[in-house]
């Protein structure tokens, strides 16, 4: 990633190094390398390229997201937006995106297919964010809306990661399709777990509690509690009034927790994990395949 992003502009080089140093869990590059290994191509140079591409692309979208959301902290550190302002943060994100595209074009196996996959993912990310904004305005989100949003915002990139890694190492179509299905299911599970954290009362989860509620985002724990509830209309009205009545947030959170919303979301999360594990069945028995299964199970049990 450092080589991919290298620049002779000192400010750019310094900011690149700072962002890379504060990297997150690196789950997406891990997924790329494991997917390639599960196809019989361990330590493949093309898989390493895909791993770097997806993490650079992911971080580019986060740089842009921080400007859109006005976020001053990410992963416990000040954002580029907070340190340098919106303009430099957008420009840095654009630079990272351009380098990701340039690296895709340098891959040896079917780069045009990879371009189409990642172009689709970037489009999904934008659609997902805009749909979520729209639904935050109306507070009429359905479970179908929610699943579409989390696919676009999160699962699409997981799917693209696993699928692209398989394509880059020349894996057969059966393996490509299996890993795409696995990536999509794991990505959805990852996002559902994040959304469950928003309703947790435990202060040690590594994510502030109640942010989604305050931003009027109706996610799966609340949707689960709303199912068949006579209070649905009143709870949705509490969400609509959140800007002028921030004290509504605790009422909504308590309703979701007391109404079985977290248990409902955890059940749906388990369904996605089961789908991910089943998707691995066409792949040969390898160490990497077993690690992919462990990674799926980690999504259900992670605590931050």
In 3D space, the residue among 112, 124, 134 whose CA is nearest the CA of residue 218 turns out to be 134
H-type alpha helices, 198-260:
211-214, 220-226, 232-240, 248-258
**How far apart are the C-alpha atoms of 95 and 100, rounded to whole Å?**
9
In 3D space, the residue among 27, 26, 46 whose CA is nearest the CA of residue 171 turns out to be 46
pLDDT tens-digit series, residues 246-258: 999 999 999 999 9
| pLDDT at residue 64 greater than cutoff 80 | yes
In order of 15, 75, 92, 152, the CA distances from 89 in angstroms are 10, 16, 5, 23
The token pair at 236 is 């949705």
In 3D space, the residue among 20, 13, 38 whose CA is nearest the CA of residue 182 turns out to be 38
**How far apart are the C-alpha atoms of 80 and 60, rounded to whole Å?**
11
pLDDT band at 201 (very low <50, low <70, confident <90, very high): low
CATH fold of 19-301: Farnesyl Diphosphate Synthase (1.10.600)
What average pLDDT does range 214-223 have in this prediction?
97
Domain map of the chain by residue range? 19-301
Mean pLDDT taken over the chain: 93
Q: Residues near 167 by Cβ (< 8 Å), separated by ≥ 6?
A: 109, 110, 113, 114, 117, 176
What average pLDDT does range 135-139 have in this prediction?
96
Say what angle helices 45-69 and 156-168 make with each other, to 10 degrees. Answer: 160
| pLDDT at residue 206 greater than cutoff 70 | no
Buried residues in 243-270 as b, exposed as e (16+ CB within 10 A) = eeeeebbeebbebbbebebbebbbebbe
pLDDT band at 75 (very low <50, low <70, confident <90, very high): confident
Phi, psi of 74 (to 5 degrees): -145, 135
**How far apart are the C-alpha atoms of 47 and 35, rounded to whole Å?**
9
pTM, full prediction? 0.93
Q: Residues near 121 by Cβ (< 8 Å), separated by ≥ 6?
A: 57, 156, 157, 159, 160
Residue 241's SS3 state is coil
Strand pairing of 73-74 and 77-78? antiparallel
**How far apart are the C-alpha atoms of 249 and 91, rounded to whole Å?**
35
pLDDT number for residue 208 = 64
CB 192 within 8 A of CB 265: yes
pLDDT number for residue 170 = 96
Phi, psi of 77 (to 5 degrees): -130, 155
**How far apart are the C-alpha atoms of 167 and 298, rounded to whole Å?**
25
What average pLDDT does range 108-116 have in this prediction?
94
DSSP string, 60-88: HHHHHHHHHHT--EETTEE-HHHHH-HHH
């Amino acid at each position: 990633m450092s080589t991919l992003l290298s620049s002779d502009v000192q400010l750019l080089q310094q900011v690149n190094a700072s962002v890379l140093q504060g990297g997150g869990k690196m789950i997406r590059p891990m997924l790329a390398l494991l997917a390639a290994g599960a196809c019989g191509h361990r330590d493949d140079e093309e898989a390493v390229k895909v791993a770097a591409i997806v993490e650079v692309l992911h971080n580019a979208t986060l740089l842009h997201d921080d400007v859109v959301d006005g976020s001053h902290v990410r992963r416990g550190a000040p954002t580029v937006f907070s340190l340098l302002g919106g303009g430099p943060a957008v420009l840095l994100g654009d630079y990272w995106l351009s380098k990701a595209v340039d690296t895709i074009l340098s891959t040896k196996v079917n780069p045009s297919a990879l371009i189409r996959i990642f172009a689709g993912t970037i489009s999904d990310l934008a659609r997902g964010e805009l749909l979520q904004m729209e639904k935050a305005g109306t507070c009429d989100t359905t479970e179908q809306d929610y699943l579409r949003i989390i696919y676009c915002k999160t699962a699409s990139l997981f799917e693209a990661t696993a699928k692209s890694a398989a394509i880059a190492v020349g894996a057969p179509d059966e393996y490509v399709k299996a890993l795409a299905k696995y990536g999509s299911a794991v990505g959805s599970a990852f996002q559902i777990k994040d959304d469950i954290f928003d309703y947790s009362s435990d202060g040690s989860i590594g994510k502030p509690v109640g942010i989604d509620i305050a931003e009027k985002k109706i996610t799966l724990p609340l949707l689960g509690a709303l199912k068949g509830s006579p209070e649905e209309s009143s709870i949705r009205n509490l969400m609509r009034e959140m800007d002028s009545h921030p004290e509504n947030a605790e009422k909504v959170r308590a309703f979701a927790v007391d109404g079985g919303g977290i248990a409902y979301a955890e059940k749906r999360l388990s369904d996605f994990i089961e789908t991910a594990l089943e998707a691995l069945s066409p792949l040969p028995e390898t160490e990497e395949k077993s690690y992919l299964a462990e990674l799926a199970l980690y999504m259900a049990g992670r605590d931050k």
